[in-house]
Amino acid sequence: MGRKIDDLFGSMRMILPEHKAEIQRMNAERGLIERPVVDEIDFDENCFRIYDSTQYDYAINVKWFREVRGGLGVYETAWGVVKEIDADKRRFRLVSDWDSVWIKVEDVVSVTK
């Protein structure tokens, strides 16, 4: 009888709430990446394409970094035409047929036609 009780308790695992939270945090961070570094030439070219989209009303693909936690984040992508540039807040509004999103210029990774 004593052996069955030992086996029962030996196979059980206790997880404290702090451990569970840490495990969830670690699992969430597995898909996160560090903020990429965009060199000055690429940054200037991206800004030119963003501005050009407003002037000639053509669609662009934008890939940007969205921070989730502590410098780690994910890439987001969207397609559309730049309809507005907010120089004070250093952001622009990308509009497609189904969505509109404000993107900060410093978060932009790449812009393609």
Instruction: Tell me how far apart the alpha carbons of residues 29 and 56 are, in angstroms, rounded to a whole number.
Output: 40
- The residue type found at 15 is I
* Enclosing H/E stretch for 73: strand 72-86
Query: Is the predicted pLDDT of residue 3 greater than 60, yes or no?
Result: no
Query: Is the predicted pLDDT of residue 65 greater than 70, yes or no?
Result: yes
Q: What is the mean pLDDT of residues 75-92?
A: 97
- How big is the chain, counted in residues? 113
- What predicted TM-score, i.e. pTM, was given to this entire model? 0.74
Q: What is the mean pLDDT of residues 49-58?
A: 96
Listed in sequence order, the DSSP H helices in 12-89 are 17-29, 40-56
Range of the domain at 73: 33-112
Q: What is the mean pLDDT of residues 55-60?
A: 96
Structural domain contains residue 37: yes
Structural domain contains residue 45: yes
Q: What is the mean pLDDT of residues 93-106?
A: 96
pLDDT score of 85 = 97
Structural domain contains residue 92: yes
Query: Is the predicted pLDDT of residue 2 greater than 90, yes or no?
Result: no
Task: Quickly count: other Cβ atoms within 10 Å of residue 54's Cβ.
Answer: 15
Q: What is the mean pLDDT of residues 57-71?
A: 93
Structural domain contains residue 7: no
User: Which CATH number fits the domain that encloses residue 83?
Assistant: 2.30.30.100
Q: Which residue has the higher pLDDT, 2 or 102?
A: 102
Structural domain contains residue 17: no
